[in-house]
Amino acid sequence: MFIWFYHFNAAQITDADCGYENGSIIVTLTNAAEPVSYAWSGGLPDNDTVTGVHMGTYEVTATDAHGSTATATYDVAILNL
């Protein structure tokens, strides 16, 4: 059985303004077989880009065409504190 290994690259994170849900997280993967599906914590949209998030910690699990998975956690902070 062949196991396909891939990983998340550094995410592009935009921190949120205090009191607003205007942060974002964009993730990319290396060596994943397309198509890739994403499952985010907190009921966020299941894709590689999430917007409209407030300060907090978010987890995403990606599953590629081979059924391999990778999980990463990202923190969105508040700007200007």
How confident is the model over 35-77, as pLDDT tens digits? 999 999 988 999 999 999 999 999 999 999 989 899 999 999 9
Domain assignment of residue 70, yes or no: yes
Q: What is the CATH number of the domain that holds 21?
A: 2.60.40.1080
What residues make up the domain containing 56? 7-76
Domain assignment of residue 58, yes or no: yes
pLDDT recorded at residue 2 = 53
pLDDT recorded at residue 74 = 97
Domain assignment of residue 42, yes or no: yes
Domain assignment of residue 57, yes or no: yes
Question: SS3 of 67, please?
Answer: coil
Average pLDDT over residues 24-31: 94
Bond from prior residue into 35 cis (ω within 30 degrees of 0): yes
Q: How far apart are CA 62 and CA 27, in angstroms?
A: 10
Domain assignment of residue 81, yes or no: no
Domain assignment of residue 29, yes or no: yes
pTM score of the predicted model: 0.89
- Residue 74's nearest CA partner among 36, 63, 49, 66 is 49
Residue 81 confidence class, pLDDT cut points 50, 70, 90:
low
How many domains does the chain fold into?
1
